[in-house]
Amino acid sequence: MPEIIVKPSNLKELWEMLPGLPASRRYLAGGTDIVTANNAGAESSVCWIDISGLPELAVIKETAGSLFIGSGVKISEIERSKAAARWCPALTAAIPHFASPSLRNMATLGGNAANSSPCADGVCALVAEGACALLALRGKKRRLPLKDLFLGPKRTALKKDEVILGFEIPKRPRAGAYLKLGPRAYFGISKAAVAVTAEISGGVVKRVCVALGSVAPVPLHAARTSAWLVNKKLSAETIAGASDLVKAEVSPITDARSGADYRREMCGVLLERALKSLAE
């Protein structure tokens, strides 16, 4: 465990507190990843800053064009949010596959993103939603497409002390799906996962975003497959074509959870099933 944990009560207090803290420091949100990493000997910061109580990060709010989900909102709160159910079809479909009910009472989307694991169910779905991350460092705020936040396993584009305030999801009526292949039906880590959102009009794809989990060093935005699908009729041929294309876009590895070839093949199968469900 770290030597100390500090608990600012709001963002202003956090920024004021930073200069007096040990240089070796990390943020603590839901704790489900960082405490596990600590117990496994993979996290050794001197100081953790508990941002789980910051009121600025705990809100879900709608503006004219987007839905904002604060980085500190618990996954189980998103599960109960009517606004999220309406505007985030892929995320809504992903939540039952996100760990277990008790871990969903603790974990946050901000932590899921900052941990930058390629298998993170929440952020894979959020990438498919076309979300932007809102970041803050003292007075400076910036907005980053979520897909650009991830640089590799456990590596993000976050600057030292930068906080993820939350995620902006465009409010557009669309359909979505999240399909996960794991070792069992629930509470497993995925071998491969596919998240899709699509706006379909008269059977033709107008906008689409395909994202994949556990088959690349980062939660993958399948840009080529997504672009190829636009303005195509969602026929059996189109679905088969997209399924072939996505297999060339992923770069899975063989590890304890699955093999690279199997994962690649399953990306095609999962995307096919997801697109079929959206075509119906």
Note whether 182 and 189 are within 8 A (CB).
yes
CB of 240 to other proteins, least distance (A): 34
State the residues that interact with other proteins by CB under 8 A: 1-7, 20-22, 28, 31-32, 35-36, 39-40, 46-48, 50, 52-53, 76, 96, 99-103, 105-106, 186-187
For other proteins, the closer CB: 5 or 236: 5
CB of 50 to other proteins, least distance (A): 6
CB of 111 to other proteins, least distance (A): 11
For other proteins, the closer CB: 4 or 59: 4
For other proteins, the closer CB: 40 or 64: 40
CB of 237 to other proteins, least distance (A): 37
Two tokens, residue 256: 């304890």
CB of 233 to other proteins, least distance (A): 37
For other proteins, the closer CB: 56 or 199: 56
CB of 127 to other proteins, least distance (A): 24
Rg, C-alpha atoms of the chain = 19
CB of 279 to other proteins, least distance (A): 28
Q: Which residue has the tokens 């509470």?
A: 187
For other proteins, the closer CB: 78 or 234: 78
Q: Which residue has the tokens 């876009």?
A: 249
Note whether 276 and 200 are within 8 A (CB).
no
Q: How far is Cα 7 from Cα 96, in angstroms, rounded to an integer?
A: 30
For other proteins, the closer CB: 119 or 278: 119
For other proteins, the closer CB: 104 or 221: 104
